[in-house]
Structure 1
Amino acid sequence: MPKLKRTAEETEARREGPEFIESLDRGLRVLRSFGIDRRPMTLSDIAKACNLPRATARRILMTLQKSGYVVGDERLFSLTPHVLTLASAYLASNQISTIMQPLMDEVSAKAKEICSLAVLDGDDAVFVARASPARVFPSGIDIGYRLPAFCTSVGRVLLGRLSNEELAAAIDATCLKSQTPETIMDKSLIVAAIIIDRSKGYSMVDQEAEAGFRSVSVPIHRYDGGIIAAANIGAHVDRITTGEMIDRFLPLLKEMAVTAKPLLV
């Protein structure tokens, strides 16, 4: 039997007790690996991406294939649409998306721009809902899209819920990767920017996450004041100035956040 390769995370989890199911964790890692290169993958690709022996990766793939989540011909493997049932289960059971969607639709119609909603997942901001006016072709950021939290307006709003000490520790532990020439890479400056944004009640990021794109975000609070999501409106720099974003979009986002607060538990 081939010796199993364990990641540092798996080793740590094994120390925590018998409740951790390694086989389930490996299966989830295989599913996530398909998003790395956005193409069908070979068995060797998957085994390498997941740090697993080929035999283990193959057994997982055969199980996923029989369950309908993966399709393959023994050479190339890819996900099937059945994987979307996992995402739809999250969206259907998540009150944030359900409550925020109609409010976002209204904001998007008034702003005539796309309005998006994101939550924090590790070091990333993950978009879980969006609204688009009829005249705007829905492209770019979509549901499930991930961006580094440290350099995005939604991410900085979400990180702002941490205390100063927790924030400094979180940024210090984050592996920063420049997204554009404008991305701030000095960790002390990032922490300072998030603290300033927290005091303002919103975050504006100008071309740090994506070249030619700026956005403004506000925190979405639940009924007790806790920040559970962030809503933003973004636009290309050629169409909207930072001043226009503050004057036109920020009041709409803040009004939406106030309306949503008593509805979110």
Structure 2
Amino acid sequence: MSLPLRRGFSSESQADTPIEAQKPAEAQPAAPVRQTPASSLDIYSGDPNFMTSLARGLIVIQAFTQQAPQMTISQLSLKTGLSRAAVRRCLYTLTKLGFAGAEDGTRYALRPKLLSLSNTYTASNALSTSAQPILERMSAAFHESFSVATLDGDDIVYIARTTVSRVMAVDLHIGSRLPAYCTSMGRVLLAHQSAEWIEQYLARVLLTPHTTRTVTTADKLMVLLRNARRNGYALVDQELEVGLRSLAVPVFTPSGRMVATLNLSGSAPRMPVYDMQTRFLPHLRNAANELGALLR
């Protein structure tokens, strides 16, 4: 006669069950949350003075690039992390104001009126307006490309530029952004930040290799930043793009505050390192000093 089963047990004893089956299932690691421009607004949640609608509109504007000059609402939603409804409202407002539009009703693009915003900055910014004629004079004298940039987040932003020939695959212009860690102007700007700021920067930035020459270790980059600060210039040899070589110096105000960097960029085969250091570096420093003296 079989014995009745004790309550809470099955006919198969737990002791007969394989050990692996007795173990609780291990929790699967959560999938990484995709960071989007929209998610960067989360830190302002609850701030009564923060205009979320304005911030969303600016995110939509910044989503358009040279590589993606036209996009649908769905594409913009995916790229920005905003809902389709939010993107639609932003585009509706921008279209009504003349800053955006869609020829076929589906693919949106920015309109020339948006240039009025950037022109307002360059016209009202003393650094940009003072730099442009100096760069133009330098280009006329040496037939090379010169630029002035400032640091914005982890990137450099061009605020003045003259070009005599295209030296990069990407067409650079006022407003263009490049990573700071692998550009001569970026290294000058990074080198003059505080030690704490640089430490935080290195902790968050991804040192992506653009060429086989790109410095991608924090220790080596720190050495280069110390050298840039001590020597008063940074020279980057084909780290951003093969065949591109650049030299940059800091721009200081009369009070000694570093506010920008001025650089020369050119073709590596045509512009040897020694030539840049001996022929062009003194002229770059003179131009930087001239520009700094105007920033009172």
Structures share fold, TM-score greater than 0.5: yes
What amino acid sits opposite 2:279 in the alignment? Answer: R
CA distance, structure 1, for counterparts of residue 133 and residue 262 of structure 2: 13
Q: Which has the higher contact order (CA 8 A, sep 6+)?
A: 1
What SS does the corresponding residue of 2:45 show, helix, strand or coil? Answer: helix
1:141-181 deviation line (CA, Å, top 9, x unaligned): 22122110011000011111212232122122212222222
Task: State the 4+ residue runs in structure 1 displaced beyond 6 angstroms.
Answer: none
2:83 equivalent to 1:57: no
What SS does the corresponding residue of 1:178 show, helix, strand or coil? Answer: coil
* Deviation for aligned residue 1:7: 4.2
Tell me the matched-pair count.
Answer: 258
Q: Give the number of the structure whose alpha-carbon radius of gyration is greater.
A: 2
What amino acid sits opposite 2:187 in the alignment? Answer: R
Alignment correspondent of 1:229: 260
2:88 equivalent to 1:66: no
What amino acid sits opposite 1:252 in the alignment? Answer: H
CA distance, structure 2, for counterparts of residue 218 and residue 196 of structure 1: 12
* Deviation for aligned residue 1:111: 2.2
Alignment correspondent of 2:41: 10
Cα pair 2:131 2:291 within 8 Å, conserved: yes
Select 2:67's aligned residue among 37, 43, 46.
37
What SS does the corresponding residue of 1:162 show, helix, strand or coil? Answer: coil
Normalising to structure 2: TM-score of the pair? 0.82
CA distance, structure 2, for counterparts of residue 238 and residue 180 of structure 1: 16
Cα pair 1:147 1:209 within 8 Å, conserved: no
2:215 equivalent to 1:184: yes
Q: Name structure 2 gaps, 5 residues minimum.
A: 1-35
Normalising to structure 1: TM-score of the pair? 0.92
More helix by share: 1
CA distance, structure 2, for counterparts of residue 33 and residue 237 of structure 1: 33
Alignment correspondent of 1:28: 58
What SS does the corresponding residue of 1:159 show, helix, strand or coil? Answer: helix
Q: Percent identity?
A: 36
Matches within 5 A, 1:125-204: 125-132=156-163, 136=165, 140-204=171-235
Cα pair 1:183 1:207 within 8 Å, conserved: yes
Alignment correspondent of 1:80: 111
What SS does the corresponding residue of 1:151 show, helix, strand or coil? Answer: coil
Alignment correspondent of 1:214: 245
CA distance, structure 2, for counterparts of residue 7 and residue 168 of structure 1: 26
Matches within 5 A, 1:93-132: 93-132=124-163
CA distance, structure 1, for counterparts of residue 208 and residue 50 of structure 2: 31
Cα pair 1:109 1:132 within 8 Å, conserved: no
CA RMSD of aligned residues (A): 1.9
* Deviation for aligned residue 1:124: 0.7
CA distance, structure 1, for counterparts of residue 44 and residue 113 of structure 2: 29
Cα pair 1:164 1:195 within 8 Å, conserved: no
* Deviation for aligned residue 1:260: 2.1
